Amino acid sequence: MPVVAISEYKFPSKSRQELYGDDQLVHVWWKGNPWFVAAGCFRFPKAMPWGDFVGVLKGFYTADPDFVPDSLDSVQWVIDDQEVTPDPSASMEANGVGHKSLVQFSV
């Protein structure tokens, strides 16, 4: 439904991908772990290899004292509601991660 307005009402998104250059925003959700109250929002290069991305997460989630970094090696990844088996050497983009995509896992 269009906005009811006194004149044409059309504005660009304030968080469109082009504002981040070669990067994009990625949401990462450790489902079922309330220690992290919400999914995290990160800015990563689209070309970043999936394996490097997982490496960053292994550091990030040490904020949970019960976290075992190697556990991320055997989780089922879900990107935008699709279960996937990412290729660690391929880029995040090639693995199907888009701007503001939701990458989720459970341990």
Partner 1 sequence: MSVPTQKPVRKLSMKQRYSALTHDLDWPLSYVEEDDAFPYTKFEGIKVHDWSKWEDPFRLTVESYNKYQAEKDRRLYAVLDGFAQSQGQLSLSDASYMNAMKIFLQGIPSGEYQAHRNFAHLARYLNGPGARFASLCQSMDELRHAQTEIHTLSHYNKFFGGMHDWNKMSDRVWYLSVPKSFFDDAGTAGPFEWLIAIGFSFEYLLTNLLFVPFMSGAAFNGDLPTMTFGFSAQSDESRHMTLGLEGIKFMLEQDEDNLPIVQAWLDKWFWRGYRLISLVAGMMDYMLPKRVMSWKEAFELYFEEQMLNGLFKDLAYYGIKPPRDVEWAIQEKEILSHQVYWILYQFSHAAAFTTTVPNAQDQAWLAEAYPETWPIYKSVVWDKAQKVMDEGGRYFNPGLPQLCQVCQIPMGFTEPGDPMTQCQRHSIYEGERYDTCSDGCKWIFEREPEKYVQAWLPVHQIYQGNCGGPTLPDVAVWYGLEPGDGGEYVGSMDQLDWAAWHASTVKEG
Binding site for partner 1 (CB under 8 A): 1-6, 9-17, 19-20, 25, 27, 29, 31-32, 34-43, 60, 63, 65-66, 80, 98-102
* Pick from 76, 77, 44: nearest CA to 60: 44
Nearer to partner 1 (CB atom), residue 22 or residue 89: 22
User: From CA 104, how far away is CA 91, in angstroms rounded?
Assistant: 17
Cβ distance 88 to 50 under 8 Å?
A: yes
In the complex, least distance from residue 40 CB atom to partner 1, rounded to whole angstroms: 4
Shortest distance in whole angstroms from residue 33 CB to partner 1: 8
Based on CB atoms, which residue is closest to partner 1, 62 or 89?
62
Residues 6 or more apart whose CB falls under 8 angstroms from that of 15 comprise 25, 100
CB-CB neighbours of 74 under 10 Å: 7
Nearest residue to 86 via CA among 101, 75, 70:
75
Q: Which is nearer to partner 1, 35 or 89 (CB)?
A: 35
Q: Tell me how far, at minimum, the Cβ of 60 lies from partner 1, in Å.
A: 6
Q: Which is nearer to partner 1, 63 or 83 (CB)?
A: 63
